[in-house]
Chains A and B, each alone.
Chain A
Amino acid sequence: MTGSALTGSNPTRSDHISATYVVQVRRRRMYGGLTLALFTLLMVSGFVVADGRNAGGFWAGWHQMLDFPADVLSEAWEKRANLPALLVKFFPALVETINIAAASTLIGAMAGLVLALLSTRGLAKWPALIPVFRRIMDVMRAVPEIVIALVLIFILGGGPVPAMIAIAFHTAGALGKLYSEVAENADLKPVEGLGSTGARWIQRMWLGVLPQVAPNFLSYSLLRFEINIRASAILGFVGAGGIGSELRHAMSWGPGRFDEAAAIFVLLFGAIVFFDQLSSRYRNKMIEGQ
């Protein structure tokens, strides 16, 4: 009775509400449709431009996509007897690539840790400089590894060290930001407690903050290690050491050395999948263990 009385007494209001609702829905749909249309337009025109500026077009090339893998596989199959020996031959290069990734993750994580603590509110040693350290991390994060690697190759010569420094530089910025977000949520009571005993800044951080955030930091570092393996392989291809440069040699030789290329593909694929699985397993463990 009250319901009918309500609607009866106020028919215009409910009409008004339903009318505005319909208008709102219509407007939202229109915006959604416009966004979608704009996005589709961007994708299609982007594809057309990219296709036009590419040496070989998409429509001419897509059916050849499997030709090269087929060539490599068939040659590798013909010379399959060589494969174990080649795997052994290129294994040191793979170790070098993984070492580049591991060392750069380690160095980058240590630098990132310092940067993160210096740019976190409540923990920073010099609170006034927090924005400065944040901007430093932003710039470090924005520098693609290849930029530093190529410049350092010019100065230091080829080899693993330029790649290591380049990846470590970027890693410090990327991990620093993630670390700082974790450290922001750290409990400040242990830090204050340590401060009351006269602990220095380093001691407060080492004993008060680090134990709280270590699982998250390690989890991010492992994820970064995974990414850095890929980065170090790719930098090898543009002139730094490791399996990437071996791949480049094998590729530049063309047919006849495809068994080597196949062995390198196998090694790289195996390594990436292996470390992927390993890191995701330990990351889950660490986050659950909290």
Chain B
Amino acid sequence: MSDATVTLAPAKRSVSALFRRKRQMAFAVPAIVLAYLLYIAVTFDFAGIAKRASLENAGILASDSWSYKVHVTRDNRRGGTSYAIEGERKGTYADGTHPAWVDPRGAEDVVIDLEDGYIVHFLPDNAALFYIPDYGRIEAQLVDGSIKTNLQAPLPDWINLSDQRMTVTTEAGRMTMTRSRTEVYRYFAGWELFWFTLDSPYHGHSFAQILFGDRIDPDRGNISGALSDFWNNGMWRHKDVAWAIGETILMAFLGTFGAAIIALPLAFMAARNFSPVWLVRGAARRLFDFVRGVDALIWTVVLARAFGPGPLTGALAILITDTGTFGKIFSEALENVDEKQIEGVSSTGAKPMQRYRFGVIPQVVPVLLAQVLYFLESNTRSATVIGAITGGGIGLMLTQAIQTQKDWEEVAYYIVLIVGVVMLMDWFSGWLRARLIGGKDPRAGA
């Protein structure tokens, strides 16, 4: 009995100590995480961000990415009215044509139907009327360079009025009047002119008409003409986008496989069981650590100075960084090879080169290939970022489109394309991996 109590007592003590420690951990870890997140909230100034966040920008982005507007513009200095999709030159209606919802009764007399009872009427002498249901009629005229209206204070918050500028924003559309022009925007859902711009004869025709219908442009066959007009669409620039996507994939492809080719011999030099000389091994390993540590960002900056902007710079930046990563992974794989197979091959009298070829390579190739293919997908994403820095590929087009802060439908288009391409590369590398080595997923995080 006493024996049991003697042996039990310390065991009991250690168990309760373990329990106490686990209990403390269970509270300490969430507490530390919470404390760190609070610290982040303070240093990153979440409160200030919430205040500065521009909901207006968010609204513009959300609505513009899936809708477009048609501008009806009257030149208040020279007279004349023009119609343009998104106000761009490429989307301007040719002289004498106009959208169906506009009724030009004369050079200076244009009725614009915004539907639901909202009607804008341009009149001679730089005057305009805006009929708004449940509000009334706004009369505005430009007299000697300043705007005169029938509006009485207090104004509702959707009207912005000064001597130089009037803006009326309604659900159906928007009107602005300044000294130089009077402009009306009407909004529509969809991506405008995605297939053909207005100057293409195929605009407004359905696919069935183009494929099977009569010849639309007498000079060209329907399909070749339509393809060429689509490819050279000046607004959506399908040709440039395709090239940019190609450049991004090219950067990833050249960088990944180039790095693998360079890293393989270096990995032999860094692996303990293949490289007996300590100095060579150390040098190779330090080289890997160095190029990995410098990181793609700095390599990109350095290489851009030598090669200028473009896909080659991005490819080389990926190549150099990944040489380090692959070197490390490959040399670890080489250190884990099974010596028995090499012994077996050398027992047949194989020379060193043959020992590598038949004893080592078949063992490591599946591991290496799996890693390389995994990085191919990850590098497609990296190539987007690197492209934004060096100036190449879809990354550059995306940054440019975002910087103009108005072509949000193009931004949405590029985002969809980028995500699609990355998912495609993911699927492709997985498929290739399964075909070449069967199944197994490598354990990596990048």
A, B bound: yes
Interface, chain A (partner B; CB < 8 A)? 39, 42-43, 46-47, 49-51, 53-58, 61-62, 64-65, 67-69, 96, 99, 102-103, 106-107, 138-139, 141-147, 150-151, 154-157, 159-161, 164, 174-175, 178, 181, 220, 223-224, 227, 230, 233-235, 237-238, 244, 247, 251, 265, 268-269, 272-273, 276
Given the interface pairs A42-B253, A233-B295, the reply to whether A64 lies near B402 with Cβ below 8 Å is no
Bound state CA distance, A49 and B257, in angstroms? Answer: 16
Q: A43-B258, A230-B296, A238-B389 are in contact. List 20 more A-B contacts (CB 8 A).
A: A50-B250, A50-B311, A65-B306, A68-B302, A106-B36, A139-B423, A142-B423, A143-B415, A144-B385, A156-B52, A156-B54, A157-B49, A161-B49, A164-B44, A178-B443, A181-B441, A237-B301, A247-B301, A251-B301, A276-B292
Bound state CA distance, A61 and B309, in angstroms? Answer: 12
* Interface window among B118-126, B157-165, B174-182, B392-400: B392-400
| In the complex, chain A residues whose CB is within 8 Å of the CB of B311 | 49-50, 53-54
| In the complex, chain B residues whose CB is within 8 Å of the CB of A155 | 53-54, 57-58, 61
Interface residues on B, range: 35 or more
Once the chains bind, are B293 and A276 in contact (CB under 8 Å)? yes
Bound state CA distance, A65 and B46, in angstroms? Answer: 42
Is B446 in contact with chain A by the CB < 8 A criterion?
Answer: yes
| A/B interface sample: 21 pairs, CB < 8 A | A39-B257, A43-B258, A46-B250, A46-B253, A47-B312, A49-B311, A53-B312, A56-B307, A61-B306, A106-B33, A145-B385, A150-B398, A150-B399, A155-B58, A155-B61, A157-B52, A178-B443, A234-B296, A234-B385, A235-B385, A237-B301
Determine which of A51, A58, A160, A174 lies in contact with B44 in the assembled complex, contact meaning CB atoms within 8 Å: A160
Determine which of B49, B258, B443 lies in contact with A156 in the assembled complex, contact meaning CB atoms within 8 Å: B49
Once the chains bind, are B44 and A50 in contact (CB under 8 Å)? no
Once the chains bind, are A174 and B61 in contact (CB under 8 Å)? no
Q: In this complex, which of A39, A139, A144, A145 has the most chain B Cβ atoms within 10 angstroms of its Cβ? A: A144
Contact with A along B391-432 (1 / 0, CB 8 A): 110010011001001000001000100110011001000000
Once the chains bind, are B52 and A269 in contact (CB under 8 Å)? no
Number of A-B pairs whose CB atoms are under 8 Å?
196
Question: Shortest distance in angstroms between A251's beta carbon and chain B's nearest beta carbon?
Answer: 6
Once the chains bind, are A144 and B310 in contact (CB under 8 Å)? no
| In the complex, chain B residues whose CB is within 8 Å of the CB of A142 | 381, 419, 422-423, 426
Question: Shortest distance in angstroms between A11's beta carbon and chain B's nearest beta carbon?
Answer: 26
Interface, chain B (partner A; CB < 8 A)? 33, 36-37, 40, 43-46, 49, 52-54, 57-58, 61, 243, 247, 250-251, 253-254, 257-258, 289, 292-298, 301-303, 305-313, 315, 381-382, 384-386, 388-389, 391-392, 395, 398-399, 402, 405, 411, 415, 418-419, 422-423, 426, 441, 443-446
Determine which of B46, B307, B384, B388 lies in contact with A55 in the assembled complex, contact meaning CB atoms within 8 Å: B307
Determine which of A58, A62, A154, A237 lies in contact with B389 in the assembled complex, contact meaning CB atoms within 8 Å: A237
| In the complex, chain A residues whose CB is within 8 Å of the CB of B52 | 156-157
Determine which of A55, A69, A99, A147 lies in contact with B310 in the assembled complex, contact meaning CB atoms within 8 Å: A55
Given the interface pairs A47-B254, A227-B445, A233-B295, the reply to whether A54 lies near B313 with Cβ below 8 Å is yes
| In the complex, chain A residues whose CB is within 8 Å of the CB of B386 | 234
| In the complex, chain B residues whose CB is within 8 Å of the CB of A69 | 302
When A and B form their complex, which 9 residue pairs have the shortest distance between CB atoms, in order from nearest? A54-B310, A55-B308, A56-B308, A54-B312, A68-B305, A223-B445, A142-B422, A61-B307, A144-B381
Given the interface pairs A159-B49, A227-B446, A276-B292, the reply to whether A49 lies near B250 with Cβ below 8 Å is yes
Question: Shortest distance in angstroms between B71's beta carbon and chain A's nearest beta carbon?
Answer: 23
Minimum CB distance partner of B414 in chain A:
A147
| In the complex, chain B residues whose CB is within 8 Å of the CB of A46 | 250, 253-254
Bound state CA distance, A178 and B195, in angstroms? Answer: 40
Minimum CB distance partner of B422 in chain A:
A142
Minimum CB distance partner of B315 in chain A:
A50
Once the chains bind, are A178 and B46 in contact (CB under 8 Å)? no
| In the complex, chain A residues whose CB is within 8 Å of the CB of B307 | 54-58, 61-62
Given the interface pairs A54-B307, A67-B305, A156-B49, the reply to whether A43 lies near B257 with Cβ below 8 Å is yes
